[in-house]
Amino acid sequence: MRIYRAVDYNDMSRKAANILSAQVILKPNCVLGLATGSSSLGVYRQLVNWYEKGDIDFSEVVTINLDEYAGLEKDDPNSYYRFMKENFWDHVNIKRGNTHIPDGTMAFSEMECRRYDQLIARCGGIDMQLLGLGRNGHIGFNEPGAAFDKDTHLVKLSGSTIKANMRFFGSLEEVPSRAYTMGIRSIMQARGILVIANGVDKAEILKAAFFGPVTPLVPASVLQLHNNVTLVGDEEAMSLI
Ligand code: GLP
């Protein structure tokens, strides 16, 4: 595993965006696995900035997002579809048909999960997967206790995740209780993984995930078994390492 220490959030975002843009330059038609959440916002901002300067071209890139809340319409202000559209897709020259995210409104969840797995396979798998780290160690929405051998599935969110994500919604009750997520197996099949973490509230989980035992109780700890992981964390998140 390669570890890059960044001084702050901006530095972390820049370093991570550099790694993603290197991937796009080396393989213009690469498949990027994308994440949502506050950790990734700065990365998208930086990529958009380089795109505007003419330094990076997304015209052949394919993106596959990790997860989406179940039950939210695409246009809901809190859907991950909307997050991606507003923070990334609408600002670069990516083809809309090349952007993928689970459909949170699908009534037949099993069908949606299999569609998503087949889509990942049809795209030839993921070249580089961007990952944030949940405060309880979740990756995507694979909560503590999730089996390592799952592909895309519908999960019931833990109380702590609902609480952590409440900051984006009006109240606890408005946070969806379920979400679609790529499983741990889907994530581990990516050829490269880029983890970003910032802020002091990620310090303990970062240490547990990368230097503690590999256990389903800390889903991100499975990444220790992947042979191409890069971690970029800021000083605060790295303070216990
Ligand atoms: C969310 C998302 C994850 C994200 C993580 C961290 O619940 N499902 O994909 O990486 O939690 O979020 P943040 O970056 O806002 O701390």
- What ligand 1 atom has the least distance to the C-alpha of 179? 8
How much of the chain, in percent, has pLDDT values that exceed 90? 91
The secondary structure of 135-202 as a DSSP string is TTS-BTTB-TT--TT--SEEEEPPHHHHHHHGGGSSSGGGS-SEEEE--HHHHHTSSEEEEEE-SGGG
What pLDDT score does 168 carry?
A: 86
Give the SS3 label for residue 3. Answer: strand
Q: What angle do CA 23, 154, 40 make, to 5 degrees?
A: 35
Atom 13 of ligand 1, residue of closest alpha carbon? 37
User: How do residues 157-190 score in pLDDT, each as one tens digit?
Assistant: 989 889 988 988 988 989 999 999 999 999 999 9
Atom 5 of ligand 1, residue of closest alpha carbon? 134
**Mean per-residue pLDDT, 211-232:** 98
Rounded to the nearest integer, the mean pLDDT of the chain is 96
153 is catalytic: no
CA 71 to mean position of chain CA atoms: 20
Distance of CA 194 from the midpoint of ligand 1 (Å): 14
Distance of CA 157 from the midpoint of ligand 1 (Å): 12
Options 112, 143, 234, 236, the catalytic residue: 143
Q: What is the distance between the alpha carbons of residues 183 and 139, in angstroms, rounded to a whole number?
A: 9
What pLDDT score does 206 carry?
A: 98
> Best-predicted range by mean pLDDT among 139-148, 155-164, 214-223?
214-223
201 is catalytic: no
Identify the band that residue 52 occupies on the pLDDT scale cut at 50, 70 and 90: very high
Atom 6 of ligand 1, residue of closest alpha carbon? 134
Options 100, 112, 127, 136, the catalytic residue: 136
Distance of CA 38 from the midpoint of ligand 1 (Å): 7
- Of all helices (H) and strands (E), which one includes residue 230? strand 229-234
Options 100, 112, 127, 138, the catalytic residue: 138
Identify the band that residue 138 occupies on the pLDDT scale cut at 50, 70 and 90: very high
Distance of CA 230 from the midpoint of ligand 1 (Å): 17
Residues 89/96, Cβ–Cβ less than 8 Å: yes
What pLDDT score does 106 carry?
A: 86
Q: What is the distance between the alpha carbons of residues 58 and 127, in angstroms, rounded to a whole number?
A: 14
* pLDDT of 85 strictly over 90: yes
What pLDDT score does 167 carry?
A: 87
Which residue from 44, 129, 133 has its CB within 8 A of the most atoms of ligand 1, so it is best to mutate? 133
Identify the band that residue 208 occupies on the pLDDT scale cut at 50, 70 and 90: very high
Of 80, 84, 82, 111, nearest to 179 (Cα)?
80
User: How do residues 107-119 score in pLDDT, each as one tens digit?
Assistant: 889 999 999 999 9
What residues are in contact with ligand 1 under a 6 Å CB criterion? 35-39, 66-67, 132-134, 140-141, 161, 165
Residues 43/196, Cβ–Cβ less than 8 Å: yes
The secondary structure of 80-121 as a DSSP string is HHHHHHHHTGGGS---GGGEE---TT-S-HHHHHHHHHHHHH
* pLDDT of 62 strictly over 90: yes
pTM: 0.96
CATH of region 2-188+204-234: 3.40.50.1360
Identify the band that residue 103 occupies on the pLDDT scale cut at 50, 70 and 90: very high
Q: Report long-range pairs for 115-123 (Cβ below 8 Å, ≥24 apart).
A: 116/152, 116/180, 116/182, 117/151, 117/152, 117/186, 119/64, 120/64, 120/152, 120/182, 120/186, 123/31, 123/62, 123/64
Residues 166/158, Cβ–Cβ less than 8 Å: no
Give the SS3 label for residue 74. Answer: coil
**Mean per-residue pLDDT, 53-68:** 98
Distance of CA 164 from the midpoint of ligand 1 (Å): 9
What pLDDT score does 170 carry?
A: 85
In residues, how long is the chain?
241
Which residue from 9, 13, 36, 198 has its CB within 8 A of the most atoms of ligand 1, so it is best to mutate? 36
